[in-house]
């Protein structure tokens, strides 16, 4: 029997491979952090674990330093280590314990990879993990702007996988080799997104009014662009349908994501008139 998290790990690895910020949700002790660090170590990625609950806004926006040329915002050591590595993973753990001021400071880090006055290399992947606010230690809902910068995945506790892992050892997650030509798939994905939004224009952006829902996935021009890139990456390596489904719903939310997936499935059907003219063409 397949592990319930196999498709989640596949989706996570694809997001890391193409540098789309990804956020794992799950209960405390479920193994989210272990899976991320194991994936980084197996791939040989340098990584930095930053615990949001013990950080201040200046740990992300930079510490003001007065010098001869004015005020600069010095980055923390974890950021300079990542910059020196040129590639790797920034793992923001326990992000749902970050108070609003820290979340605000994270906005530019997640979107632009800027920490203080330091621009991290574009090849740095950003991964976060969170417990639902009601299960976190002094938890907070994510702000809508911060949540909208991530693709959200739900981590499950698979009892059969747990028991076999305890006996025989847990499998090491791997990051797929996404070829350099994966971006050639983006125009096709963008045309599919454009076709869907042309008939469902209200889905272009739908920020939820409920704060708890606003802290998860919801559609915006930013997340639709993320969908295009993730669909292209998934198609380039022939990823499983379940992994692709997780990525799409993880960017758009369940309601809009499922409707888009249904539209994709139905739009892939053969043209009825063409099928009548040439039945062999659809066999």
Domains of the chain: total: 1
User: Is residue 1 domain-resident?
Assistant: no
- Judged by DSSP in three states, 165 sits in helix
Q: For 27-86, what is each residue's pLDDT tens digit?
A: 988 888 988 998 898 888 999 999 988 999 999 999 889 887 888 899 999 999 999 998
181 Cβ neighbours under 8 A, 6+ residues apart: 236
User: Is residue 185 domain-resident?
Assistant: yes
Q: For 106-160, what is each residue's pLDDT tens digit?
A: 999 999 999 999 999 999 999 999 998 777 667 788 999 999 999 999 998 766 6
User: Is residue 81 domain-resident?
Assistant: yes
Q: What is the CATH number of the domain that holds 65?
A: 3.40.50.300
Q: Which domain holds residue 262?
A: 6-282
**Which of 246, 261, 257 is CA-nearest to residue 218?**
257
User: Is residue 10 domain-resident?
Assistant: yes
User: Is residue 214 domain-resident?
Assistant: yes
Q: Report yes or no: 174 and 43 within 8 Å, Cβ to Cβ.
A: yes
User: Is residue 43 domain-resident?
Assistant: yes
């Amino acid at each position: 029997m397949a592990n319930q998290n196999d498709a989640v790990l596949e989706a996570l690895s694809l997001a890391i491979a193409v540098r789309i910020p990804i956020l794992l949700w799950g209960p405390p002790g479920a193994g989210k952090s272990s899976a991320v660090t194991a994936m980084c170590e197996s791939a040989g990625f340098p990584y930095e674990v930053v615990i949001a609950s013990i950080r201040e806004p200046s740990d992300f926006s930079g510490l003001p330093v007065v010098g001869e040329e004015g005020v600069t915002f010095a980055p923390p050591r974890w950021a300079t280590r990542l910059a020196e590595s040129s590639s790797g993973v920034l793992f923001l753990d326990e992000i749902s314990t970050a108070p609003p001021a820290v979340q605000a400071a994270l906005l530019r880090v997640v979107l632009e990879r800027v920490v203080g006055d330091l621009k991290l290399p574009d090849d740095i992947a950003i991964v976060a993990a969170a417990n639902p606010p009601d299960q976190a230690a002094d938890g907070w809902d994510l702000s809508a702007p911060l949540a909208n910068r991530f693709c959200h995945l739900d981590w499950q506790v698979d009892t059969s996988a747990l028991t076999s892992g305890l006996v025989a050892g847990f499998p090491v997650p791997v990051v797929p080799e996404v070829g350099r030509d994966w971006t050639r798939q983006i125009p096709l994905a963008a045309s599919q997104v454009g076709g869907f939004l042309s008939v469902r224009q209200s889905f272009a952006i739908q920020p939820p009014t409920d704060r708890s829902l606003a802290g998860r996935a919801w559609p915006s021009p930013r997340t639709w662009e993320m969908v295009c890139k993730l669909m292209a990456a998934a198609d380039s390596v022939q990823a499983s349908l379940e992994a692709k489904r997780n990525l799409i719903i993880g960017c758009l939310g369940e309601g809009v994501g499922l409707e888009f997936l249904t539209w994709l499935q139905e739009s892939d059907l053969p043209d009825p008139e063409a099928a009548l003219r040439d039945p062999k063409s659809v066999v």
